[in-house]
């Protein structure tokens, strides 16, 4: 995946501190789920933004038709389910990979779009919500959870930043004069 690093500022979302480094993660006040959400002001009609969203989806994900669950051009909504991998160190010093599932919803309106990334769960025999890693009082707490959250945050931010970059309008090439 193409990973582009940009500065990202999330406005007016409550955050919860989880470590000594004062890293913060957005928690939805209603659902209590780890939720990345933002509204981006972007020139274009609803349809133009929707088409850019589809183009981003097709370029960012290896199998966009499997990932995408809803494509509704009339209402300007795209919903997808995907997964990211985080590395888990084992006792022997080897690394294993854990899979985190997430849902992304894109909503388009004239001059703006909104993304919502939520329902992040660790794939195991049973699903474990990522929010569990924020609870240092949990009987199963492990200091590795802080690292898992950092990895999860970094990869989700890559998705968001790549989306923002691809949603920029494409400038038309100047006409060649003969």
Which tens digits make up the pLDDT trace of 135-172? 888 888 888 888 889 999 999 999 999 999 999 987 77
Question: Among 111, 105, 1, which Cα is nearest to 47's?
Answer: 111
Spatial neighbors of 107 by CB under 8 A, at least 6 apart, are 76, 77, 113, 114, 116
Q: How far apart are CA 161 and CA 167, in angstroms?
A: 10
Q: Is 146 within 8 Å of 20 (Cβ atoms)?
A: no
Q: Is 38 within 8 Å of 114 (Cβ atoms)?
A: yes
Q: How far apart are CA 137 and CA 170, in angstroms?
A: 49
- CATH code: domain 15-166 is 3.30.530.80
Task: Classify each residue of 74-88 as buried b or exposed e, where b means 16 or more C-beta atoms within 10 Å of its C-beta.
Answer: eebebbbebebebeb
* pLDDT tens readout for residues 1-47: 333 222 222 222 233 333 333 347 888 888 889 999 999 999 999 99
How many CB atoms neighbour CB 53 within 10 A? 22
Q: What mean pLDDT is reported for the chain? A: 81
The reply to whether the predicted model has a pTM over 0.85 is: no
């Amino acid at each position: 995946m193409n990973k582009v690093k940009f500065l990202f500022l999330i406005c007016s979302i409550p955050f919860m501190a989880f470590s000594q480094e004062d890293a913060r993660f957005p928690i939805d006040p209603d659902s209590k789920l780890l939720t990345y959400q933002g509204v981006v002001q972007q020139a274009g009609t609803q349809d133009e933004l929707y088409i850019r969203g589809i183009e981003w989806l097709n370029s960012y994900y290896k199998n966009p038709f499997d990932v995408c669950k809803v494509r509704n051009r009339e209402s300007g909504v795209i919903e997808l389910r995907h997964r990211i991998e985080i590395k888990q160190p084992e006792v022997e010093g080897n690394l294993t990979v854990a899979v985190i599932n997430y849902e992304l919803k894109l909503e388009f309106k004239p001059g703006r779009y909104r993304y919502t990334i939520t329902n992040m769960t660790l794939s195991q025999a049973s699903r474990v919500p990522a929010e569990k890693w924020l609870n240092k009082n949990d009987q199963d707490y492990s200091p590795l959870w802080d690292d898992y959250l950092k990895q999860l945050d970094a990869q989700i931010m890559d998705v968001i930043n790549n989306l923002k970059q691809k949603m920029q309008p494409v400038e038309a090439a100047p006409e060649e004069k003969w």
